[in-house]
Amino acid sequence: MSAKDKKITIRNQEYGGERPLYTLHDARLENVTIHIGESSIKESGNIEAEKCTFEGKYVFWECSGFKVKDCLFRETARSSLWYSNDVEMKDCRVEAPKMFRRMKGIKIDNCLFTNAEETLWDCEDVEIRNSRIDNADYLGMHTNNVLLENYLQNGNYSFQYSKNLTIRNCILNSKDSLWESENVTVIDSEINGEYLAWYSKNLRLIRCHITGEQPLCYCKNLYMEDCTMGEDANLAFEYSSINATLKGHVHSIKNPTTGKIVVESVGEIIIDKNQKAPANCIIEVLKK
């Protein structure tokens, strides 16, 4: 008998109050509604939930090994996934903020988050694919080892202080994104928002489009390959060490510290008395 066959099935039931399914293990929930209350499935493991609705807070706390498919988390289900490991979420709608805290092993596919404020903090080993995340201010704070693919995000201050991210075929509409991040690679993506990636280390941007004022300043070991920049992306690269090949036109470049920038055309290059040592960045303009 397989592990799945050993699971008990709870179907077409409704629960509320505090801890109605506390310490539940080896179970499958189908068309179950968890009404207002707290800690409904806390300290549980090996759980599958499908076509369920969650209205109460703190649903999956301190759980290990659970799959959530085609489920709805209402706005009142805030903080539903904390301190847990090995979760798979697919085809879900999440209306609640502050999901995923201090967790390890998160896989999200084809999900919609409508109010993702302060979501995904202090987590590790995260994969998000084919998903949209809205109202996502302060998403991904201190979260490491992340893969994003075919992902759309609307919300500011994302993935600050995070390490080891791969972002591919994504759109991030996010002011102050990737601040003080480390070891991030972004491929075939678009990032829109002011002050992108200030104080980052080892950021690689490949075939990306960047918009927003004063992008990529104070960066260490910034690498850009065949990237384009919007007309509003002005005063770029101040105090950054950089090696870049840029396509199209760049509005203005200001005081890079070292490295080399090859750009097709540039509106203004600003090198003033405030440039920092070693102050030897080479800027090669192909169309003068």
List, for residues 116-150, the tens digit of each pLDDT value.
999 999 999 999 999 999 999 999 999 999 999 99
Angle at Cα 87 formed by Cα 7 and Cα 171, nearest 5°? 145
Over its C-alpha atoms, the chain yields an Rg (Å, rounded) of 22
In the three-class reduction of DSSP (H, G, I as helix; E, B as strand; rest coil), residue 77 is classed as helix
Domains of the chain and CATH, by start: 1-140 (2.160.20.10), 156-288 (no CATH)
How much is the pLDDT for 255? Answer: 98
240 burial class (0-12, 13-18, 19+ CB within 10 angstroms)? buried
Contacts of 284 (CB under 8 A, 6+ apart): 260, 261, 262, 263
Instruction: Name the phi and psi angles at 75, rounded to 5.
Output: -60, -30
pLDDT level of residue 288 (50, 70, 90 thresholds):
low
Angle at Cα 97 formed by Cα 172 and Cα 214, nearest 5°? 30
What percent of the chain is predicted at pLDDT more than 70?
A: 98
**Contact (CB, 8 A) for 27 and 47:** yes
Residue 4 reports pLDDT greater than 80: no
Partners of 121 in beta bridges? 101
Partners of 60 in beta bridges? 81
Q: In Å, how far from its chain's centre is CA 68? A: 20
Look over the chain and give the mean of its residue pLDDT values, rounded to a whole number. Answer: 96
How much is the pLDDT for 6? Answer: 81
**Contact (CB, 8 A) for 206 and 189:** no
Report how far residue 81's alpha carbon sits from residue 55's, in angstroms, rounded to the nearest whole number: 13
Look up the pTM and report it: 0.95
Question: Which tokens in the block code for residue 50?
Answer: 């499908």
List, for residues 178-231, the tens digit of each pLDDT value.
999 999 999 999 999 999 999 999 999 999 999 999 999 999 999 999 999 999
List, for residues 78-92, the tens digit of each pLDDT value.
999 999 999 999 999
Peptide bond into 278 cis (omega under 30): yes
Residue (of 241, 249, 243, 239) closest to 272 by Cα position? 239
Q: Rounded to a whole number, what is the largest CA-CA distance in the chain?
A: 75
How much is the pLDDT for 51? Answer: 98
